[in-house]
């Protein structure tokens, strides 16, 4: 078994388990036991250091496991959305891989979709497409009609 597959298998199992009720109960129990043991250790610096060190190490490692799981989930969601976009005749195929755009480009798209939302709210037909491609087609048709309507000199 490859190291990457082993790491993925282990990280999936750990992140799944750490999100469970039992993991919370164990963590909560550990804190309760630590708190109760305070008087036994006279609330010493070592007593405090034990919980601080333990939680710091666990948190440090969990950041990487959670990020790995988040990356995998994000990639899967993007692939599913890409498939839906590709399968829909009304959706713009330009939206496939939109996650590769920079922040400014995403902001421009966001503003455009806010305008499309405003147009869609005013539209009586809820099934009418309001994608980037339909907007360009409408714009081309409008420009073509304007050119035909202008008197020739």
* Tens-place pLDDT, residues 113-137: 888 778 777 777 766 666 666 666 6
pLDDT value at position 38? 96
pLDDT value at position 137? 67
Low-confidence ranges of the chain (pLDDT < 50): none
Nearest to 96 by CA among 110, 109, 84, 105: 84
pLDDT value at position 151? 61
pLDDT value at position 62? 93
pTM of the predicted model, to two decimals?
A: 0.60
Gap between the Cα atoms of 125 and 153, Å rounded: 40
């Amino acid at each position: 078994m490859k190291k990457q597959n082993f790491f993925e298998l282990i990280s999936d199992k750990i992140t799944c388990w750490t999100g469970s009720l039992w993991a919370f109960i164990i963590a909560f129990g550990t804190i309760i036991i630590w708190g109760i043991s305070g008087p036994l250790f006279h609330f010493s610096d070592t007593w405090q250091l034990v919980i601080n060190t333990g939680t710091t190490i666990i948190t440090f490692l969990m950041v990487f496991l959670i990020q790995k799981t988040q990356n995998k989930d994000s990639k899967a969601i993007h692939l599913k959305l890409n498939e839906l976009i590709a399968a829909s005749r009304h959706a713009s195929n330009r939206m496939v891989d939109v996650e590769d755009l920079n922040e400014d480009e995403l902001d421009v798209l966001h503003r455009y979709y806010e305008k499309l939302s405003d147009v869609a709210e005013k539209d009586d037909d809820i099934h009418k497409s309001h994608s980037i491609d339909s907007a360009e087609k409408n714009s081309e048709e409008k420009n073509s009609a304007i050119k035909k309507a202008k008197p020739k000199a």
